[in-house]
Amino acid sequence: MKRDESAGMDRIIEIALESGTIVLQSGGETYRTEETMTSVAVSLGASSASAFVTPTVAMLTCVDGSGESHTRLQRVSDRTINLGRIARVNELSRRLSGRGRKSDLAQVESLLKRIRHAPHHRPAGVVFATALASLFFSLMFRGSFREAALAFGIGAAMRLVLFLIEPLALPSFVVSLIGGFVISFLSSAAVFSSLVASSGNVSIAVLMSLVPGLAIVTAIRDIIAGDLVAGSARLMEAFVTAAALSLGAAFGLMLFPAETSYVSALTFLYSPVPAFAFAFLATAAFAYFFHISRYDILWTSLFGAAGWLVYLIISRDLSSPTMAYMVGALVVGILSEFFAVAFRKPATVYIVPGIIPLVPGGGMYETMFLAVLGRADAAAAVAFNTLSAAAAIAVGIALASSCARLASRARVSWKARPR
């Protein structure tokens, strides 16, 4: 009898670990992974459960009915961005915890297997979505129709190259380096061929497809939740990715004569209706290759466009870009947190694509470009502004997340009060 109970508990741990591993490998926050694992384990019959997760390791301890502890550790190496998987595992966890009775373990295993092996978007669709995102970002940054068309083509070429090297299983640093190189090389080649006068708008528009927005968001949310080790590790991951993109861009720039008369391409289209429309469409393209459901793409695109419009209004009227970044991110965060509760979805599904228009990918590119030109003072100034923008976005998301947690605790306290 005890052996059967032990075998059953081991099976529960396997299922709970699998659910957490899917969330972690798909880009979910550390605290969300831990909550998912413990919730699934308790819902399936564990007396209690405790989880510890880092970006590369998931560990779960469960206590069975006889008081015996069972522990399992799972190494996590492969990580990607699949917000749709996170949403589906979150939905499964909610369903299990709301049943009030033990679920069939075989059925839960089958559901997790279906989530794990759900088909990805076809490469052609992802290439096209990347190209569209690049086109709309070019127009958002006041690019000409020629620059937008070039951004469309280079964005498609960059994503195609990344698909072609995918079987090599290269480290993420090398992949980012190659992506940055392809963007910079093709943009500089376009300038060398006199197709455009400057590579700035095109490079920045395409580079937005590779900026580490997810790592930044999850790091901030982990730190807010108290997971300082995991949050710091994710911030370092974002920094390494940004460094790889910059380094790759620098290599590409060095292969062609530098544009000594380079003028900053960090200019924005301020007309409200076109700006909102382009931000909406660019966010929708991002949401697509993050594997978000079609219904959720609509909402996250609205949030991203709203945050971008708020940023433009504040930066123009108050002449305070840092404040504009913070308030824009706050708007995206609050809308995402509110609708995440209403739709019973993880807020990450809406926040990650929603902040993409705000992420200062252009500042990162221009810092490296000016450094290659030897304009150290200008590069330092742009770098400072870029870091200030990133910090402001982090503060905005942190404020939204903190407000959501306070509201959640207040709601729980209200329901628990004596009547």
Per-residue DSSP letters for 199-232? SHHHHHHHHTTTS-HHHHHHHHHHHHTT-HHHHH
Are 89 and 148 within one domain? no
- Give Cα 253 to chain centroid, integer Å: 27
Cα(85)–Cα(28) distance, integer angstroms? 9
Token pair, residue 240, equals 């390494």
Query: Considering the domain boundaries, does residue 417 fall inside one?
Result: no
How far is the CA of 392 from the CAs of 33, 333, 387, 399, in angstroms? 26, 13, 9, 11
Write out the chain's pLDDT in tens, 419 residues: 455 556 678 888 999 999 999 999 988 888 889 999 999 998 888 888 999 888 888 999 998 877 888 888 888 877 788 888 999 999 998 888 876 666 778 888 899 999 988 887 888 999 999 999 999 999 998 888 999 999 999 999 999 999 999 888 888 889 988 998 999 899 888 888 888 888 778 888 898 888 776 677 677 767 776 777 777 877 787 778 877 887 887 788 777 765 555 566 677 888 889 999 999 999 999 889 888 888 899 999 999 999 999 999 998 877 778 899 999 999 999 999 999 888 888 888 898 889 888 888 777 777 777 776 677 788 888 888 887 888 888 888 888 888 887 877 777 666 666 65
How far is the CA of 254 from the CAs of 167, 176, 209, 312, in angstroms? 28, 18, 22, 34
The confidence score (pLDDT) of residue 264 equals 64
Are 132 and 101 within one domain? no
- Residue 221: name the closest of 391, 10, 28 by CA: 28
Are 310 and 235 within one domain? yes
Cα(165)–Cα(179) distance, integer angstroms? 11
Query: Considering the domain boundaries, does residue 257 fall inside one?
Result: yes
Query: Considering the domain boundaries, does residue 199 fall inside one?
Result: yes
Query: Considering the domain boundaries, does residue 414 fall inside one?
Result: no
Q: What is the 3-state secondary structure (H, E, C) of 50-81?
A: EEEEECCEEEEEEECCCCCEEEEEEECCCCCC
Query: Considering the domain boundaries, does residue 419 fall inside one?
Result: no
- Residue 201: name the closest of 130, 152, 258 by CA: 152
Amino acid identity for residue 189 in this structure: A
Cα(396)–Cα(358) distance, integer angstroms? 11
Query: Considering the domain boundaries, does residue 285 fall inside one?
Result: yes
User: Which of 85, 116, 147 is the last residue before a domain boundary?
Assistant: 116
Q: How many domains, in total, are found in the chain? A: 2
Cα(36)–Cα(394) distance, integer angstroms? 25
Are 39 and 170 within one domain? no
Instruction: For the sheet with 69-75, list strands across it.
Output: 48-54, 57-63, 69-75
Are 144 and 101 within one domain? no
Are 223 and 357 within one domain? yes
* DSSP element (H, E) containing 49: strand 48-54
Domain containing residue 31? 2-116
Are 89 and 168 within one domain? no
Are 72 and 216 within one domain? no
Cα(174)–Cα(161) distance, integer angstroms? 13
Query: Considering the domain boundaries, does residue 216 fall inside one?
Result: yes
Are 190 and 208 within one domain? yes
User: Which of 94, 116, 138 is the last residue before a domain boundary?
Assistant: 116
The confidence score (pLDDT) of residue 416 equals 61
Are 52 and 172 within one domain? no
Query: Considering the domain boundaries, does residue 224 fall inside one?
Result: yes
CB neighbour list of residue 213: distance below 8 Å, 6 or more residues apart: 352, 355, 356, 359
Are 90 and 210 within one domain? no
Token pair, residue 265, equals 């391409």
The confidence score (pLDDT) of residue 297 equals 93
Token pair, residue 318, equals 């108050």
In the block, tokens 């003072």 appear at 377
User: Which of 116, 151, 174 is the last residue before a domain boundary?
Assistant: 116
Are 170 and 65 within one domain? no
pTM for this structure? 0.83
